[in-house]
Amino acid sequence: MDFSTVMSGQDQLKVQMQVDSLNKTLAEGKGLNQSLGKDDFLKLLLTQLQYQDPTKPMEDKEFIAQMAQFSSLEQMNNLSQQFVSVKNTLGRNAAYDLIGRQVDILQGDQKIHGTVEAVSGKDYPQLLVNGTYYDYDSVETVSNKEASR
């Protein structure tokens, strides 16, 4: 059985098309400021396996190391999603704690003062102050209801 260690013209064209596609995606900004995701990692691994030299296959150690990297990437993605969930929950709880309290809200150049009457929204809480909803992030100061101005 005879194996060629040189890629055929068709294989070279196929790889070049994949490289061009990846470069186009990066140039469009999808990947400029982002790290590779698990789908990108799997595509690279499969391409590497598909076009490896049959006379010098990937060593077990290399393959295990890459699978360990993939597993770490998966766990980091899971942690990131859990951190976002915890952040959203803490933000909601902090917004609920403002019900009945006096707040100053910065809305453009205008400062609105009033009592938080209600909170709505899940991931991006909104506070009802003086009959209007404002973003929780626009709260500038908080004080007790009985505090005088």
Dump pLDDT digits (tens) for 28-65. Answer: 665 444 566 677 777 877 887 787 777 776 666 777 77
The pLDDT of residue 145: 64
Answer yes or no: is 131 within a domain: yes
pLDDT score recorded for residue 129? 93
- Asked if 91 and 107 sit in the same domain, the reply is no
Length of the chain: 149
Q: Residue 91 CB: number of other CB atoms within 10 A? A: 17
The answer to whether residue 84 sits within a structural domain is yes
pLDDT of residue 33: 47
Q: Is the pLDDT of residue 146 over 60?
A: no
Q: Please check whether residue 52 lies inside any domain of the structure.
A: yes
Q: What pTM, to 2 d.p., does this model score?
A: 0.47
- 115: closest CA among 90, 142, 94, 149? 142
Q: Do 83 and 103 fall into the same domain?
A: no
The whole domain housing 124 covers: 99-143
Q: How far is 63 from 111, CA to CA, in rounded Å?
A: 60
